[in-house]
Structure 1
Amino acid sequence: MLDNIKIFDTTLRDGEQTPGVLITSNEKLKIALKLDELGVDVIEAGSAITSKGEQKSIKTITENNLDAEICSFARPVKVDIDTALNCDVDSIHLVIPSSDLHIQYKLRKTREQVEQMTVNATEYAKSHGLIVELSTEDATRTSMDDLKRLYNLGIEAGADRLCACDTVGLLTPEKSYDFYKELATLSRPVSVHCHDDFGLAVANTLMALNAGAQQAHVTINGLGERAGNASCEEVVMALETLYHIDTGINTKLFYEISHLVETISGVTLQSNKAIVGENAFAHESGIHADGVLKKSETYEPIKPETVGHRRRFVLGKHVGKHVINEKIKETNTQVTEDELDRIFKRVKSLSDMGKTVTDVDLQTITDDILHINPEDSLILEEYTTVSGNKVTPTASVKVNINNKEKIEAGVGVGPVDAAIEAIQKSIKDTADITLEEYHVDAVTGGTDALIDVLVKLKHEDKVITARSTEPDVILASVEAYLKGVNKILTDDKKMRK
């Protein structure tokens, strides 16, 4: 593997092609600025020909004079290249269908016509000062002879880089190595662009780089069409940790940019997502947690701080006493061995009943064992919600925060969202708390079923869990949120003592 691997990020183009994802101009700029801070070499900011809005987005990014090369996707036609030029990009990702399947059924042209289009487009772009990355679509279903002929024509016309796309994710790691090793013999640097239809995009990308490819096309969180693209954070961390290649990427920003992209795209990460998922550094098993507390390398391949993440211990039926003690210590509370034994038994008892033991549950059990009666900092005195057909869901709340009364109102996509929004407004001057996750389950059947709501709230670098069970989903949601907020405020008071 070469030691000067480049990272080409296409979150804003291929990533935005994820079904249901639409990123506004301001949001694209936010992501581009963070990608530049991350240190990627190329940012594919979009496809300029798509729309006036897309052109505005790309132009806004280029006007910020980022360190990264700014690129636009383009077809091998003059209008695409001209539109990209008007956006002041540094380069174009010139994509040419290369397989018989695509040429015959999509383009309805001959191979000779496609080759001439490639030459004409490359020469035109180069004559206007653009860097050209000549990319073949469906390359992995194209004969190697046809592929090399097309690339060589592009090289003669002035192409600076070459890219071969595994458009529908058909490579295996073995095939990827052989395929890109053959292309690495060409006289221009080669990029690898893999899709994740069979869950092999990262593995195929790494094998291509092992074979001599010099640049990896990736997206944050693996966003992309269908099953997505190769994940930026997974490819980079594999290069850095497993292959000991210095990519020049500021890996400490991965967790931050991952959650920025998650928030903007609306595509929720699975909790067990490698590197940046909420459970990537979470431990429940007593044996694992004990090992991590003694030496993190026992059950963590990298330190969470390396990617800007944090370690988390989860309370469940596999939890050990030492983890419970650590969680209690986090709140500046000390317990004796006997008190810890009693708390441990209560937690295990709840777990054996099939319940998720939240941070609030542990605090309640601990306070009960220690005979502590804490006063809530936030008390809900009144709340009302209004929703219905052709009515914007609204909510108003009256709360008491540290003996001060506040009244706020909020709107949302539904009454629960509106109620949470109103409470968030009421505490914004007290603590910066965000709702990270929200889960609802019906505990019993029927229209009068008990509703169990579990929430995860984030304050600074800490995430806490809370729950409430009520027949009314709005009340259960509000109570769970209030419990979480009170847990955070109580912990803050204890830490300041």
Structure 2
Amino acid sequence: MNKRKTIFDTTLRDGEQTPGVSLTNEQKLKIARQLDKLGVDVLEAGFPISSQGEKQNVRAIASEGLTLDVCGLARVLPKDLDACIDCGVDMVHTFVSTSDIQRIHTIKKSREEVVTMAVDAVERIKEHGVKCMFSAMDATRTDLDYLTEIFRAVEGAGCDIINVPDTVGVMSPSRMYNLVNSIYKEVNIPIDVHCHNDFGIAVANSLMAVEAGASQVQCTVNGIGERAGNANLAQVVMSLHSIYGAKTNINTEYLLETSKMVENFTGIRSPPNTPIVGDNAFAHESGIHTHGVLEQSDTFEPGIMTPEMVGHKRRIVVGKHAGKHAVKKSLDDMGIETTEEQLDEILVRIKDIANKGKRICDADLHAVASAVLGRNLGQETIILKEFSVMTGNLTTPTAVVRATVGDEEAVASNFGVGPIDAALKAVEEMMGGYTKIKVRDFSLEAITGGSDALAEVTISVEDEDGRVVSAQSASADIATASVDALITAINILLEKKKLWTMQ
């Protein structure tokens, strides 16, 4: 663990093989630049032989002038190898099936033929002065003696690094350790691992492989990929850093930022309880937990990993399990002062609402505090006057919003992929001259049945300083509920901003 471990990212290759995911060339370039900023060592840009468009994408990334090594994937076939080399990549990752089940039923080659093909491929790559990684596909279901034989053969041909893939995700952590350690004792070149998450243990298998001697781990952002996906980059990296004390080149403060970019481009959202980058990764609701965290953060957090290390923020959430300390902290953040008796009453009312199955938003807490204190708290900076949305199968969804912002009237319009998107973007644009805000989360739930169902919208907004506020609204008109919730959230956020500015 004293030696620096390297991170091989395959988000743009295996990650894009996630069913339903298809990235544009521009999106791939943006992700590649972000991964370079993050500090990954090798980026697998794609599989050039698969299509002309894929080859163009790989060539474009290879010509970006990134600090990291750009890698292309290729079978052990001359046309595949040449397609990668033509793209100007720094490394070619070539692979061939080695397990009996794949070798016999897919490529229909003998063991001897596979060894020859692998050696020829490595030699062809090295003749062009390019780095070479050789992967024994389905290595974890390959006979160990034969696997060792083929790895020794490619090492002799000049291969730079070998990959041990758990192609169908069937290894247990202890078996992964034993396999990699056996290979580590037989070869003299670096070992890389590529673990799939079919049983939810890709990260564990990857870490055990590192314990056994592997020096490089293949990951994807958010763990996306074929079937159940690949080893999650953030989880692998933070485990290496915080639990093992190992070093990588990853700039961990960009982990959340990178995760959100890939979420937006792929449409694959991470559950809130996702480790490291999930919305709840550093969120606390339980009264016992929030009390402890507010006194000393590592009472109920790992301590060896803080939210700031990964670009995250700690959140105190008010809900049915909340205690006085959490409610008081949230009220303090809003600039609302109470007596002990008022705080007790606010807590009782909040729990009554939560016990009915309702999620408590900042707007709810604000409204309850207003009722208990018997006065309006704060001032509405934005007052909606009107908004309209135009949409249809022959029309690009367009929204126009008119509101009073402070003492001025503001009007904004914008386009979107749908009427709600257009309306929210119009409000964001309208606020552009006052404060930078963005919609962080949006959820919609029908709370009655029928075509005229009442819909409840929950929105979280974030300002440029990372402060987040949530609000809800319900209406039979989804666009109306969305705009109302957004403006409520912005008003509360602006009140918080004033308080923070005064402090």
Bin of the TM-score, shorter chain as denominator length = over 0.9
Match of 1:333 in 2: 336
2:482 to 477, 480, 495: 477
2: distance between equivalents of 1:351 and 1:442?
Answer: 18
Is residue 431 of structure 1 aligned with residue 435 of structure 2?
yes
Match of 1:67 in 2: 67
Is residue 31 of structure 1 aligned with residue 35 of structure 2?
no
DSSP-derived class of the 2:276 partner = coil
2: distance between equivalents of 1:277 and 1:197?
Answer: 21
1: distance between equivalents of 2:230 and 2:252?
Answer: 19
Match of 1:137 in 2: 137
Question: Larger deviation: 421-430 or 173-182?
Answer: 421-430
Contact 1:21 1:265 in 2 (8 A): yes
- The structural deviation recorded for 1:373 is 4.8
Is residue 456 of structure 1 aligned with residue 460 of structure 2?
yes
Offset from partner CA, 1:332-389 (integer Å, 9 cap, x none): 3332323322222221221122211100111222233332353321122112223334
2: distance between equivalents of 1:33 and 1:388?
Answer: 36
- The structural deviation recorded for 1:192 is 1.0
Match of 1:222 in 2: 223
Offset from partner CA, 1:311-341 (integer Å, 9 cap, x none): 0011110001111111111123332323322
Contact 2:46 2:58 in 1 (8 A): yes
1:396 to 397, 400, 403: 400
2: distance between equivalents of 1:297 and 1:493?
Answer: 30
- The structural deviation recorded for 1:173 is 0.7
Match of 1:306 in 2: 309
Question: Larger deviation: 239-248 or 332-341?
Answer: 332-341
2: distance between equivalents of 1:373 and 1:162?
Answer: 64
- The structural deviation recorded for 1:401 is 1.5
Contact 2:41 2:249 in 1 (8 A): no
DSSP-derived class of the 2:459 partner = strand
Contact 1:284 1:319 in 2 (8 A): yes
- Which residue identity lines up with residue 31 of structure 1 in the other structure? I
Match of 1:444 in 2: 448
Match of 1:249 in 2: 250
Match of 1:40 in 2: 40
- Which residue identity lines up with residue 178 of structure 1 in the other structure? N
- Note the 1:400-411 alignment, pairs <5 A: 400-411=404-415
Match of 1:345 in 2: 348
Match of 2:102 in 1: 102
Contact 1:2 1:210 in 2 (8 A): no
- Note the 1:10-29 alignment, pairs <5 A: 10-29=10-29
CA RMSD of aligned residues (A): 1.7
Question: Larger deviation: 130-139 or 324-333?
Answer: 324-333
Offset from partner CA, 1:149-168 (integer Å, 9 cap, x none): 21122112111111111011
DSSP-derived class of the 1:449 partner = coil
2: distance between equivalents of 1:9 and 1:471?
Answer: 45
Match of 1:78 in 2: 78
DSSP-derived class of the 1:357 partner = coil
- The structural deviation recorded for 1:277 is 0.3
Match of 2:190 in 1: 189
Match of 2:201 in 1: 200
1:364 to 355, 359, 367: 367
Is residue 416 of structure 1 aligned with residue 420 of structure 2?
yes
TM-score, with normalisation over the residues of structure 1?
0.96
- Runs of 4 or more above 6 Å deviation: none
2: distance between equivalents of 1:28 and 1:446?
Answer: 41
TM-score, with normalisation over the residues of structure 2?
0.95
- Which residue identity lines up with residue 472 of structure 2 in the other structure? R
Match of 1:6 in 2: 6
* Alignment gaps of 5+ in structure 1: none
DSSP-derived class of the 2:411 partner = strand
* Alignment gaps of 5+ in structure 2: none
2: distance between equivalents of 1:133 and 1:428?
Answer: 48
2: distance between equivalents of 1:226 and 1:318?
Answer: 36
- The structural deviation recorded for 1:65 is 2.8
Aligned residue pairs total 497
Is residue 494 of structure 1 aligned with residue 503 of structure 2?
no
Q: Percent identity?
A: 42
Match of 2:266 in 1: 265
Contact 2:380 2:491 in 1 (8 A): yes
- Which residue identity lines up with residue 359 of structure 1 in the other structure? D
Match of 2:385 in 1: 381
2: distance between equivalents of 1:166 and 1:216?
Answer: 12
